[in-house]
């Protein structure tokens, strides 16, 4: 009997321990409150291009005697970039000058003879026309001397030279390409559904360079093609605005991401992080919606991605609802949780 009384407290302690073990702590879940998605952003790989770029050529044919520049060399406006042999041009100038001088001399003699009525007025006028023609030919030949030199039209950098010294070139053949080292132009290729939104005043643009991560540069539309012949997209150019040149050195050829931000037509849509999407092997796409302290599985329809970490949900959620954004594959429908906002 005494042994029976000793066993009763031990049995009570044992049963109480099992009841305490049944009450497990609530699973903590990280949640966000979703909001209406009013703007849609799309990212495109882009590249800066030169604001000013020009291919330079001689207006006349000839033999190149000097190219004092090389690829990558900085030049000032008016600096010599290439020169032709001037001997042939000088011969033309000398011949034109001789013809002009001779025509002027004949006119002078004719005018003296006209004073003594030894020649007709018509002959004098013919000689005057000859003088005018030879003078024009002489002045044109003088301009050929300027055509034997190529000078820099602006401050910039020599991007490439196409000929070597002592090589003969034809009129109009590219000799040197110059670019402006400061760039405010960003180019990329956009699909058809984006091109229709580019010219709208509600569309916004930003650019982030690989060289300056985290810095968003504002931009405006500069130009875009309305047709595409190769079915690869439509070329688009943006112009950067308000760039602090003392802090950021942006030059042609820099890689970047151009973001096009357009208004969303369906204001019922919301945006959620990709980590909130639950896609089981059985199929379908779902999110865990938190109701009070209980999670409920809900099927959703996914729309376009937003940047690289979120997605639009046009159907299945409404603004103001809370969804779980971490550990979505460890939950069970109806499970009570502890919410971490």
**pLDDT(193) > 80:** no
**pLDDT(18) > 60:** no
Query: In 3D, which of 145, 146, 155, 167 has the Cα closest to residue 79?
Result: 155
**pLDDT(3) > 70:** no
Q: pLDDT > 70: what percent of the chain?
A: 90
The Cα–Cα gap between 96 and 212 comes to 61
Does pTM top 0.75 for this prediction? no
H or E segment to which residue 9 belongs = helix 2-22
Report CA torsion sign: 202, 203, 208, 209. Answer: negative
Q: What are phi and psi of 29, to 5 degrees?
A: -130, 140
pLDDT in tens, 199-208: 888 889 999 9
DSSP label at residue 16: H
The pLDDT value given to residue 11: 46
In the predicted model, what is the mean pLDDT of the chain?
85
pLDDT band at 231; cut points 50, 70, 90: low
Residues 6+ away with beta carbon under 8 Å from 252: 48, 49, 50, 53, 179, 180, 181, 183
**pLDDT(58) > 70:** yes
Beta-sheet pairing, 149-151 with 62-66: unpaired
- The widest CA-to-CA distance across the chain, in whole angstroms, is 172
Least confident of 15-19, 170-174, 280-284: 15-19
Tell me what the mean pLDDT of segment 240-250 comes to: 89
pLDDT in tens, 298-312: 999 998 777 678 888
pLDDT in tens, 78-118: 999 999 998 888 888 888 889 889 989 888 888 888 788 77
pLDDT band at 1; cut points 50, 70, 90: very low
The pLDDT value given to residue 230: 64
The structural domains of the chain, ordered by start, are: 25-39+268-340 (2.40.420.20), 41-51+182-263 (2.40.30.170), 53-84+148-179 (2.40.50.100), 87-146 (1.10.287.470)
């Amino acid at each position: 009997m005494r042994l029976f009384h000793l066993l009763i407290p031990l049995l009570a302690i044992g049963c109480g321990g099992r009841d305490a073990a049944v009450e497990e702590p609530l699973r903590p879940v990280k949640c966000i409150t979703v909001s209406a998605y009013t703007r849609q952003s799309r990212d495109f790989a882009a590249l800066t291009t030169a604001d000013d770029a020009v291919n330079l050529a001689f207006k006349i044919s000839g033999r190149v005697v000097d190219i004092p520049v090389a690829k990558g060399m900085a030049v000032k406006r008016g600096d010599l970039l290439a020169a032709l042999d001037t001997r042939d041009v000088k011969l033309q100038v000398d011949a034109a000058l001789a013809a002009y001088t001779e025509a002027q001399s004949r006119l002078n003699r004719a005018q003296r003879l006209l004073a003594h009525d030894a020649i007709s007025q018509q002959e004098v006028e013919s000689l005057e026309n000859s003088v005018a023609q030879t003078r024009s030919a002489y002045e044109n030949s003088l301009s050929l001397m300027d055509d034997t030199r190529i000078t820099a039209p602006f401050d910039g950098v020599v991007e490439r030279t196409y000929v070597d010294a002592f090589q003969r070139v034809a009129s109009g053949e590219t000799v040197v390409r110059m670019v402006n080292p400061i760039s405010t132009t960003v180019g990329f290729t956009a699909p058809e559904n984006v091109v229709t939104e580019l010219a709208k005043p509600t569309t916004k643009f930003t650019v982030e360079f690989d060289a300056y991560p985290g810095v968003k540069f504002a931009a405006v539309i500069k130009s875009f093609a309305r047709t595409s012949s190769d079915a690869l997209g439509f070329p688009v150019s943006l112009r950067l605005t308000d760039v602090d040149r003392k802090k950021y050195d942006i030059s042609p050829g820099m890689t970047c991401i151009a973001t096009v931000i357009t208004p969303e037509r369906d204001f019922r849509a919301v945006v959620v992080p990709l980590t909130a999407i639950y896609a089981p092997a059985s199929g379908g796409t779902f999110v865990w919606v938190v109701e009070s302290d209980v999670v409920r599985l809900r099927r959703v329809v996914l729309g376009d991605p937003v940047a690289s970490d979120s997605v639009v949900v046009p159907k299945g959620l409404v603004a103001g609802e809370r969804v779980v954004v971490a550990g979505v594959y460890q939950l069970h429908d109806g499970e009570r949780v502890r919410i971490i906002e």
